[in-house]
Structure 1
Amino acid sequence: MATLSASPSPNPNPNFRSPTDQTDHDPESLPHMELHPSSDQDPTPNSNPNFHAVLPTPPEAIAPAAAAAPSLLHISFNQDHGCFAAGIDHGFRIYNCDPFREIFRRDFDRGGGIGVVEMLFRCNILALVGGGPDPQYPPNKVMIWDDHQSRCIGELSFRSEVRSVRLRRDRIVVVLEQKIFVYNFADLKLLHQIETIVNPKGLCAVSQGVGSLVLVCPGLQKGQVRVEHYASKRTKFIMAHDSRIVCFALSQDGQLLATASSKGTLVRIFNTVDGSLLQEVRRGADRAEIYSLAFSSNAQWLAVSSDKGTVHVFSLKINGGSPGIDRSQSASDPVTSPHSSLSFIKGVLPKYFSSEWSVAQFRLVEGSQYIVAFGHQKNTVVILGIDGSFYRCQFDPVNGGEMTQLEYHNFLKPEAAF
């Protein structure tokens, strides 16, 4: 059986709350944990041909302390950006962002590569997909891991490799190269299938607010995104860019969508309900690969990371927007983002000169891959690197400019004590 690397505790994982301990969301939306049919039921109901009973969990043990840092295969934030997960070549690890600390780790003694780790807020349920040169699980399966039981309690099998997984308290979304499956969490019943353009990065985003589900994925054309509004049973197609879509992000309520193309120069913000373009901001003038986009919790700011080694923060000026979210700006907040000094002749010169630029920036190593999210402290950004780097930075919402580094850690260092 898998064991914690921390000291023994009567609770299998005291750092994880059970779903019923979550008080910040409607308990009616919490998933049930009994994912297996009983032994006298058909383990492959017609409503979900991809569901199979799980084989016994293979023996697991803590691997000996490695002399070198593990190879990082995957990093991702949880839904409220308070934690992040790392899939490595022999297991996975979960970290708290504020304060920064390792919550726990799972090390497997054979195979062990985990290519996808998707958290469900802070509860005990995770979705795992094998990855790397020696995967712990087949890369065409999604394993539902219950950390209270220290084992997999369900699995979903597919005919091709799983590119990514998204979790809500009521849904499991599995992304393949050209197809997306949406399941009910309570019984793993298949609810919806979506065809997409070739999607090797597994691009998909789901809203996390209680109630209506909004799902965004690539459409069937280059530069197109598809928005599914499940509450109103409406599908909206948005031609967001002329080039291939490489990154997008949803606001928590699913009302706002930020998109970036393979050019990597412009980021566009859309209203997901009617598909209208609300704002356009410029990362830079030269081509870049956008790695991640993130809205702040109140959708007042947007963070962008790219292979140019700079994280940008943009001010969003979205009027109206979704009910229940206050996007009003105080007197101390910036009224506008920086514009080119030649913006007054924007009708004559190319669009570049009237572009809206970032309010704040933070410089990193160029060429490395980073993902970003807004921290729980005011005006802070958390940056995670595929090299194991963790940065916490603060930006000045009034004066902008270079961000201040508040914290740095290498979360993969084997000698690090948490």
Structure 2
Amino acid sequence: MSSDDGFQSDPDAADHDDGSGDDPAPPLLPSPRARAQAQAQALLSPPPGQVLSLLHLSFNQDFGCFAVGTDNGFRIYNCDPFREIFRRDFDSGGGIAVVEMLFRCNILALVGSGSNAMYPVNKVMIWDDHQSRCIGELSFRSEVKSVKLRRDRIVVILLQKIYVYNFADLKLLHQIETIANPRGLCVVSQSSGQMVLVCPGLQKGQVRVEHYASKRTKFIMAHDSRITAFALSQDGRLLATASSKGTLVRVFNTIDGSLLQEVRRGAGRAEIYSLAFSSTAQCLAVSSDEGTVRVFSLKADFGTLNNDRLHNTSESHVSSSSMISSLSFMKGVLLWSFSSEWSVAQFRLHEGLQYVVAFGDWKNTVLILGMDGSFYRCQFDPMTGGEMTLLEYYNFLKPEGTL
């Protein structure tokens, strides 16, 4: 379908899939942060009369902003300093299930929600906020689960298929078949000219890595149960994965598929919602439905890789092609069961609520977005670990005029 500015969806892209309590208090912190923590706890309850429904939360590519999809529009927020940049509310009804930013520019990708939707669930709308309108669209035969943007590419994720388009002319460049992917899992590197795309493979627990610069495809048997979360380092060289068991998070080298490290979230099952590398890939943040955000210190220097073999003491068997170690000093060490001596840090939140995590611009800080409209900025000590310190808290869904 043509747009006013000449963008067109590729007719070959039509997909044939059917697509078918109590609020626990955050941790008490030593002075001088105790007061800030108490204030945050007092604000955790939704404001009286608040009826706005939150449908989507996501950071932009450099974690400097985040996008919010609601049942009547979308909003964009800046992280540092925290402030609302703009919002678009559609009076005629405009539920937005996906809002994907392109760094800080005026172009967004939007997908409508299932009910009260201004746009169909099977279309990606290219929105130009300078013009406050859609300038193009991509149409499919089934529901769009998620969208990922680079400056040169648009990646659209459906239930069992992924399409990669050239951003300049919306030309279809690549199609990928996946196992059923209801969460729309997919991550894309942001380095110019070095695009790496990671998505589920065709088997449960399998990860597919596409290296577009070298035209290579790598398959990694990451887990023996379904994948629930991915994260890529900024350069696309490191991949973190989590499965439905939620006990372990694995870190792989995307180039050769080798398993570099494991970190243990806990002994019991949990649903891991979000993973994020720090900008230097020295830390990894993990959020889950247990109500705790954890930061793990990645001890290895992943810039130097060798072929030392690790002993397999993990939750499940990993294929021999994925069992290559990283550094010689890590030989024989696979299970990193973190505690305070490993500089693990935690921040406790609502159990069962979905949170998205990222590392902030401030040194040793973590940003946390909650589906209850919460924004947290926390700081951790990479040497001593322990409970993170709350620096800032906001409820970005509060009605205007309330504190």
The TM-score bracket by the shorter chain reads: 0.7 to 0.9
Give the unaligned 5+ runs of structure 1. 1-33, 52-65, 324-346
Kept in 2, the 8 Å contact 1:93–1:104? The answer is: yes
Q: Across the two proteins, how many residue pairs are aligned to each other?
A: 339
Kept in 1, the 8 Å contact 2:127–2:135? The answer is: yes
Residue 200 (structure 1) aligned with residue 185 (structure 2): no
Separation of aligned partners in 1, 2:381 and 2:301: 22
Separation of aligned partners in 2, 1:105 and 1:294: 26
Corresponding residue for residue 55 of structure 1:
none
Question: Which one of 259, 268, 275 corresponds to residue 286 of structure 1?
Answer: 268
Moved over 4 A (4+): 43-46, 48-51
Corresponding residue for residue 371 of structure 2:
386
Kept in 2, the 8 Å contact 1:50–1:156? The answer is: no
Aligned CA distance change for structure 1 residues 186 and 365 (closer, same or farther; 3 Å): same
**How far apart are residue 373 of structure 1 and its match?**
0.3
Residue 149 (structure 1) aligned with residue 131 (structure 2): yes
Question: Which one of 17, 25, 37 corresponds to residue 6 of structure 2?
Answer: 37
Among the aligned pairs, what percent are the same residue?
77
**How far apart are residue 74 of structure 1 and its match?**
0.3
**SS of equivalent to 2:199:** strand
Residue 255 (structure 1) aligned with residue 237 (structure 2): yes
Q: Deviation string for 1:193-252 (max 9, x for gaps)?
A: 000000000000000112210000000000000000000000000000011111010011
Output aligned runs, 1:79-228, within 5 Å: 79-228=61-210
Separation of aligned partners in 1, 2:391 and 2:9: 51
Aligned CA distance change for structure 1 residues 322 and 410 (closer, same or farther; 3 Å): farther
Kept in 1, the 8 Å contact 2:338–2:344? The answer is: no
Corresponding residue for residue 396 of structure 1:
381
Aligned CA distance change for structure 1 residues 223 and 44 (closer, same or farther; 3 Å): closer
Kept in 2, the 8 Å contact 1:259–1:268? The answer is: yes
What amino acid maps onto 2:244 in structure 1? S
Aligned CA distance change for structure 1 residues 45 and 143 (closer, same or farther; 3 Å): closer
Kept in 2, the 8 Å contact 1:392–1:407? The answer is: yes
Kept in 1, the 8 Å contact 2:231–2:239? The answer is: yes
Aligned CA distance change for structure 1 residues 230 and 401 (closer, same or farther; 3 Å): same
What amino acid maps onto 2:391 in structure 1? L
Separation of aligned partners in 2, 1:356 and 1:216: 27
Kept in 2, the 8 Å contact 1:116–1:129? The answer is: yes
Separation of aligned partners in 2, 1:69 and 1:119: 25
Corresponding residue for residue 279 of structure 2:
297
**How far apart are residue 397 of structure 1 and its match?**
1.0
Separation of aligned partners in 2, 1:44 and 1:301: 40
Separation of aligned partners in 1, 2:401 and 2:275: 29
Separation of aligned partners in 2, 1:69 and 1:97: 24
Separation of aligned partners in 2, 1:49 and 1:195: 12
Corresponding residue for residue 356 of structure 2:
371
Separation of aligned partners in 1, 2:95 and 2:302: 46
Corresponding residue for residue 347 of structure 2:
362
Aligned CA distance change for structure 1 residues 137 and 246 (closer, same or farther; 3 Å): same
**How far apart are residue 50 of structure 1 and its match?**
5.5
What amino acid maps onto 1:401 in structure 2? G
Separation of aligned partners in 2, 1:135 and 1:192: 29
Aligned CA distance change for structure 1 residues 285 and 90 (closer, same or farther; 3 Å): same
Kept in 1, the 8 Å contact 2:10–2:170? The answer is: no
Give the unaligned 5+ runs of structure 2. 16-47, 306-331
**How far apart are residue 136 of structure 1 and its match?**
1.3
Separation of aligned partners in 2, 1:87 and 1:132: 13
What amino acid maps onto 1:311 in structure 2? V
Q: Deviation string for 1:353-384 (max 9, x for gaps)?
A: x6245610000011111110001100000000
Aligned CA distance change for structure 1 residues 416 and 303 (closer, same or farther; 3 Å): farther
Separation of aligned partners in 1, 2:200 and 2:188: 13
Separation of aligned partners in 2, 1:85 and 1:215: 22
Aligned CA distance change for structure 1 residues 166 and 35 (closer, same or farther; 3 Å): farther
**How far apart are residue 320 of structure 1 and its match?**
4.2
Corresponding residue for residue 344 of structure 1:
none
Q: Deviation string for 1:373-408 (max 9, x for gaps)?
A: 001100000000001011110001111000000111
Corresponding residue for residue 338 of structure 1:
none
Separation of aligned partners in 2, 1:244 and 1:416: 44
Aligned CA distance change for structure 1 residues 72 and 155 (closer, same or farther; 3 Å): same
Kept in 1, the 8 Å contact 2:94–2:118? The answer is: yes
Corresponding residue for residue 268 of structure 1:
250
Residue 415 (structure 1) aligned with residue 400 (structure 2): yes
**How far apart are residue 321 of structure 1 and its match?**
2.5
Kept in 2, the 8 Å contact 1:280–1:356? The answer is: no
Aligned CA distance change for structure 1 residues 389 and 225 (closer, same or farther; 3 Å): same
What amino acid maps onto 2:387 in structure 1? E
**How far apart are residue 132 of structure 1 and its match?**
4.4
**SS of equivalent to 1:110:** coil
Output aligned runs, 1:306-325, within 5 Å: 306-321=288-303
**RMSD of Structure 2 on Structure 1 (CA):** 2.2
